[in-house]
Every structure is written in structure tokens, then in C-alpha cells.
Amino acid sequence: MTTNRASVSNTKTSAPHANAEPKPITASAALSVGFGSAIVSWVIAWILHLPAIDASAKVSLPIIIVGLIGASAGLLRACPRPDRLKVGLLGGLVTGLVNLLIVASVAVEQPESTDSMATYANQFNDQAVIIVPGAVIACVLAGGLGALLASGGRGHATTRAHWLARFGVVTVFIYLPLIAVGGAVTGAEAGMAVPDSVTSYGAISVLFPFELMAEPRIFLEHSHRLFGTLAGLTTIALMLAVLLSDTTRTSKILAVTLLVCVCFQGYMGAVRVSEISMPVAISHGVFGQIVFTLAGVLAATLSVSWRSLVADEQRRAAARRAVTIAVITTPLMFIQLVLGAAARHLSHLDPPSSGTGHARLTHAGFAFVVLILVIVLGALAVRVAKAGTGLAFLKRLGGAIHGVVTFQFLLGWAALGLVATAREHRPIPLADELATAPPIRVGETLVTTAHQATGAILLLMVVLAGVWIVKLASGRTHR
């Protein structure tokens, strides 16, 4: 009799939940689509406006708009068909508002040189009343057109949890160009191209005149700051979305921690410029990759796979056999990261430091140890994935780790060869030395930046594999 009452009670309490109307996904989907489209447009704009390319507005604007439409259409394929137009338009509005962070640079007065910034800083030009709303409207229309072009697609992202997981992934992709551009700043000796740490030549960062970014080192340093602003804004939005959602306590803690880390990373970047501190520069470079990895871990905990994982004893046993390698590999990857950052930054000291050679050779030698461990970890991840169902992504991750670590290893030796054969010592020029500074070694900068960015991706992949292995080994399915 007791059992029957319990059964009736469970039925009564669960029935309303089962029959409840699904919560609207418009806002959460619009955040994912809006920020996702924004980062696509930012990367396209950054490439087209590199000083070596310097595409005109007649060329760059159509390409950026096409990129926006394509990004919106691609992201909206996961959206249910009845909601696509609404989400596309609202997502376009989010994109437009986010893009004002870079559009504002052409809506201000454009002085001929940085010497005139004391007079013209933070002053909007006469076209601002057209440029600002016009840019937002263009993004809204691009989002709507993307929705109309989003043919096909399964429309399987039907809940807020689905779109929150996608927003987590979008955030990771927003961090990636920040890491890459930061690496280019180091490779091009551009870290001191902007003398003030909070403003840019006296201007609020987003209001720094576009025409003054024609100087290559100023372009790299200032665009790195803009990508940092975008990363900070995205992190705030993601944290609020996570805190207001029905997700795990772990995800909420990670979201708050991520924002704190992003703020601290920005603080270190400001101190690095104001104090011209090499130790802070190294810490800033290392911590940036840690923040990137933390964002990836947060995205993993928001995923549907993480939250719907079912206990499997066979898979748990396989994961336990891989835990030791996973736990060992992560700190050794971190040591390798510190050695690489030290080698890059110390090479710019004036006078030169003997520690540069030691860090460089230790980094090169330690690469063999890391290579072996990462290959083993990738193989173990594949084995764990094969031990049960529902973990095809872990199998793909293990295989991808093998490809990325091989590419990274080859890039490392190419970078070492280019740096070792460069005979001229290149200290970082200050802002008032840019006119007489030697030209940027483009080939070396490209290779070393690719090595640094690929290293960040590899660290993320290794940590994600380790986190999943530890979770599977613990047997905890939801927390």
C-alpha cells in the first residue's frame, strides 16, 4: 500500500513538469548567434585591415557583411524553423551593439598623427550620427537575411540548455583570436606601441581613431586591447546567462571564476605597459592561456553530453587506467608553457639576458617529454571513448590531439630555427621610438605566433581530455 501511494505521489509531482510548456529560447539563442556572428566579423575586419593589406571600405564592408550573413545562417541551422527569423533579427541586434566597439573608431575625429591626440581624443565626427545607427541596422538586416538563408539544418537546439552550451563554445572561439593577436604583439615587438595602459594615446580604447592604426605595431597592440574588451564583455554575458540558468553548481562557480580571471588578466596587461615589466609580461602571456583553457572547461560542463552522462562501469574502469597520465600531462604542459613564454619575452630584454638561451634550449628539450605524454594521452582518450557509447566526441578529441601535437612540434623547431639564426638583437621599441624602429620580421612573427596559438589550442585539448577522463573515472554523472 505504501508503494502504491509513493507511485501516485511521484506521478502527481512529475506530471506538471512533464506537461510544462518549454521555455522560450529566443534570448539565449540570440546571445549565441549574436556573439558568434560578431567574432566572425571581427576576425574578417582584422585581417582585411592589417597594414600590409589595408583594404578600402568598398572592398572590406561587403566582405564583412557577407561574413555576417554566412555566420548567422550557419549558427541558425540549429534553431527550430519557427524561431529562426526572430532569433536572427535579435541576434543581429546583439552583433550590431557588440560591433560598435570597433565601428566607433571610424565615427571619431581622425587626426593626422598621435601627436594631435591631446586635441582630438574622444571627439565624434559629423558622420557619427549616420555611422553608428547604420552599422547596427546593417547587422540586424544581416541577421534576418541569414535566418532566411538558413535552409536545412535539424533545428535540434530546442532548449535554453542547448543554446547556453553553444554560447560557451562561442566564448572559447572569441578568446582564441585574443590569444593569437597577443602572440603577434610579442613576435612583432609591439607590446609598448601604445604608451598609456588604460587609454590609447589619451582616447577611450574603443574611440581610438582608425586612421592612426596604419602604423603596424600600434595596429597590433591596439587591436589586441579591443579583442580583450570583446572577451571581457562576452564573459560577463556568459556568466550572467549561467547564473540565471538551471545548470550545475560547478558551472556557476567556473563562470564566476572565469570573469575574475579575465579581470585579473586585463589588470596584468595594464600593469605590463605602465610598469614596462618583463616578469608581468611573461605572467600575462602564461595566464592568458590558462584563462582560455578555463573557458574551455566551462564550455564542457555546459554541454549536453556532460549533463546527460550515464554511469557505465566498463567505461569507468577504462578511464581509471588513464587518470594517472591525464593528471601528469597537464602540469608538464604548463611547465612547457612557462618555458616557452620566458624564452619569447626574455629575448627582447635590453641588454640581452643569458637566461634567454637557457629557457629556449630547456623548452626545446622538454618538448620531447611532452610530445610522448600527449601522444599517450590521446591514445588513452580514444580507448576510453571506445569502452562505452555516447563518447564519440572524446574519440575525435584523442585523434585531434595527435594531429595538433605533431604540427605543434614541427612549428616549434621551425620557430627555433628562425629565432636562432636572427643575428640582430631586437629590444621592444617604446611609443616614441616607432618611427625609427626596425621593420617587423613578418616570417618569424607568423611562425612564432602560429606556434604560440597552436600551443594554446593543444593545452586546451589536453586539459579537456583530462577533465573528461577524470569525470568518467569518478563515476559522477551530474554535479
Model pLDDT for residues 463-474, shown as the tens digit of each residue:
999 999 999 998
Contact 281, 272 (CB under 8 A): yes
pLDDT for residue 5 is more than 60: no
Residue 62: pLDDT above 70? yes
Beta strands in 14-153 (DSSP E): none
What is the C-alpha separation between 98 and 229, in angstroms, rounded?
10
The Cα–Cα gap between 479 and 253 comes to: 12
What's the grid cell of residue 289? 592561456
At 191, list the grid cell: 607590446
Per cent of the chain over pLDDT 70 is 93
Out of 135-144, 168-177, 189-198, 456-465, which region has the weakest mean confidence (pLDDT)? 189-198
Q: What is the pLDDT of residue 14?
A: 39
HEC assignment per residue over 212-262: HHHCHHHHHHHHHHHHHHHHHHHHHHHHHHHHCCCCCHHHHHHHHHHHHHH
242-289 residue pLDDT tens: 999 988 999 999 999 999 999 999 999 999 999 888 899 999 999 999
For 188-199, b/e burial (b = at least 16 CB within 10 A) is: bbbbbbbbeeeb
The confidence score (pLDDT) of residue 12 equals 38
What average pLDDT does the segment 356-360 reach? 85
Q: Compute the distance between CA of residue 350 and CA of residue 352 in angstroms, rounded to an integer.
A: 5
Q: What integer is the mean pLDDT of 300-319?
A: 86
Spell out the residues 6+ positions from residue 18 whose beta carbon is closer than 8 angstroms to its own.
none
The confidence band for 423, taking pLDDT boundaries of 50, 70 and 90, is: low
* DSSP secondary structure letter of residue 156: -
Please determine, for residue 129, whether its predicted confidence score (pLDDT) is greater than 70.
yes
Q: Write down the pLDDT at residue 3.
A: 42
Mean pLDDT of the 71-79 span:
95
Average confidence (pLDDT) over 133-149: 96
**Where are the chain's structural domains?**
309-431+439-479
Is the pLDDT score of 10 beyond 70?
no
Confidence of residue 451 (pLDDT cuts 50, 70, 90): very high
Q: For residue 42, is pLDDT > 70?
A: yes
| Residue 475 pLDDT > 90 | no
Could you give the CA distance from residue 221 to residue 179 in angstroms, rounded to a whole number?
A: 12
Q: Check residues 427 and 332 and name the one with the higher pLDDT.
A: 332
Contact 289, 455 (CB under 8 A): yes
Going by pLDDT thresholds of 50, 70 and 90, the confidence category of residue 94 is: very high
Mean pLDDT of the chain: 90
Pair 168, 298: CB distance under 8 Å:
yes
**Which pLDDT belongs to residue 138?**
97
Q: How confident is the model at residue 352 (pLDDT cuts 50, 70, 90)?
A: low
Q: What is the pLDDT of residues 198-237, one digit of tens each?
A: 899 999 999 999 999 999 999 999 999 999 999 999 999 9
Q: In the 8-state DSSP scheme, what is residue 116?
A: G
> What would the mean pLDDT of 414-428 be, rounded to a whole number?
81
First to last CA, the chain: 34
Spatial neighbors of 353 by CB under 8 A, at least 6 apart, are: 346
Q: Report how far residue 152's alpha carbon sits from residue 347's, in angstroms, rounded to the nearest whole number.
A: 52
Q: How do residues 160-186 score in pLDDT, each as one tens digit?
A: 999 999 999 999 999 999 999 999 999
Under a CB-based contact definition with an 8 Å cutoff, are residues 374 and 458 in contact?
A: yes
CA dihedral sign of residues 54, 55, 57, 61? negative
pLDDT grade for 356, boundaries at 50, 70 and 90: confident
Decide if pLDDT at 21 tops 70. no
Peptide bond into 351 cis (omega under 30): yes
pLDDT at 334 over 90: yes
Contacts for 174 with CB less than 8 Å, ≥ 6 apart: 35, 39, 230, 231, 234
pLDDT of residue 58: 94
Q: How far, in Å, are 39, 208, 399, 454, 461 from residue 44 at the CA level?
A: 9, 19, 29, 20, 25
Rounded to 10 deg, the angle between the 313-346 and 160-187 helix axes is 30
Q: What share of the chain is helix, strand, coil (3-state, %, to 5)?
A: 75, 0, 20
